[in-house]
Chains A and B, each alone.
Chain A
Amino acid sequence: MTWNSPAEFFAMGGYALYVWGSFGVTALALLMEPFLVRHRRSAILRSLRRERLAEELDQQ
């Protein structure tokens, strides 16, 4: 194991800003994207349901 303590791990041998800046932004981006896609899906589903309801009301 390379690390003797958690502090040493987070310090990344003096490269903390660069290493955590890279991994942090990547993690954030890869978490945000599926969230945005899910949002897009629920938006279209909502409008599809509304349309269906409107059609049913028309028929009555």
Chain B
Amino acid sequence: MNNRLINWFKFASPQSFYPLAGRMIPWFWALTAAFGVAGLWISFFVAPTDAQQGEGYRIIFIHVPASWMSMFIYCIMAGWAGLGLVFNTRLSGMMASALAPTGALMAFLSLWTGALWGKPMWGAWWVWDARLTSELILFFLYIGFIALQAAIDDPRRADKAGAILALVGVVNVPIIYFSVKWWNTLHQGSTINLTKAPSMAQTMLWGMLLMALCFWMYSIAVALMRARAIILERETHTEWVKQLDEVKS
């Protein structure tokens, strides 16, 4: 029991996390490519034309994964930020900062693909609907987190301020998720939920799940890459960074 605890904290130090992340990144890229190829193949060549929306519905294969990721990443980011506040570990803050830009990108893609889907189906690029508005707020929360951290020179204080913002903002995630239930919205209800069988064709569902896995793997890979860059930036004056092969050569 005690050994296990020590092992976990071992990887909480940037020095041991840095090489571990480096070894994992290529695997996550390989999985991203594999899931991406399979997902796109199903999205475009296997999934049938939709009875109501024709070929326009194919936007779902990136819209839903991007929206899911924007919410997941926010929760994970807030989780790391909270861990950082409680345990005061250096790596937590670095992980939260590494996730924020990717989460912001996912929120942007969710809004962008949503606009391009809304125009042909609803006749409007944008409506002030509960789902759309709360997702826009999520995007602003990411931008706020990044801007707040960038505005504070001391990284440890930036981590703490960012952590509080991230934790307060977490209240928005269930609002997004349940918005289609709580309010009458133009946005359709969830296609997949935990209590009912999915309301879509099997092949469409598989395409969406594979694309979601592809986005998951992508997010992990790119966040680990960014975390490694942040570790180098913040640990510049430590002996172990000076002894790294990539610095010596």
A38 CA to B102 CA in the complex, in Å?
Answer: 14
Q: Are A33 and B247 in contact (CB under 8 A)?
A: no
Decide if B62 touches A26 in the complex (CB within 8 Å).
yes
CB-defined contacts of A12 to chain B, threshold 8 Å: 55-56, 58
Interface size on B, residues (CB 8 A): 39
How far apart are B232's CB and chain A's nearest CB, in angstroms? 5
Q: Which residue of B lies closest to A49 (CB)?
A: B247
B153 proximal to A (CB < 8 A): no
Residues B204-249 near A (CB distance < 8 A):
218, 221-222, 225-226, 228-229, 232-233, 236, 241-242, 246-249
Which among A1, A22, A34 is the interface contact of B117 at CB below 8 angstroms?
A: A22
Interface 0/1 of A17-43, CB less than 8 Å to B: 111011101100110011001101100
Confirm or deny: B189 has a beta carbon within 8 angstroms of a beta carbon on chain A: no
Q: A45-B247, A52-B242 are in contact. Are A30 and B112 (CB under 8 A)?
A: no
Chain B residues contacting A14 (CB-CB under 8 Å) are 54-55
Q: What number of residue pairs across chains A and B have CB atoms under 8 A from each other? A: 91
CB proximity of A54 to chain B, nearest CB, Å: 12
Q: With contacts A30-B218, A44-B229 known, is A15 near B247, CB below 8 A?
A: no
Q: Report whether over half of chain A's contact residues are helix, strand or loop; otherwise say mixed.
A: helix
Interface of B is mostly: helix
* Docked CA distance A49–B236 (Å): 11
- A-B residue pairs, 6 tightest by C-beta: A13-B55, A15-B56, A22-B113, A41-B229, A12-B55, A13-B54
The chain B residues found within 8 Å of chain A, CB to CB, are 44-45, 48-49, 54-56, 58-59, 62-63, 66, 101-102, 105, 108-109, 112-113, 116-117, 119-120, 218, 221-222, 225-226, 228-229, 232-233, 236, 241-242, 246-249
24 residue pairs of the A-B complex, CB under 8 angstroms, read A2-B49, A9-B44, A18-B56, A19-B55, A19-B56, A19-B59, A21-B116, A26-B109, A29-B105, A33-B102, A33-B105, A34-B221, A34-B225, A41-B225, A41-B228, A44-B232, A44-B233, A44-B236, A45-B246, A48-B236, A48-B247, A49-B249, A52-B242, A52-B248
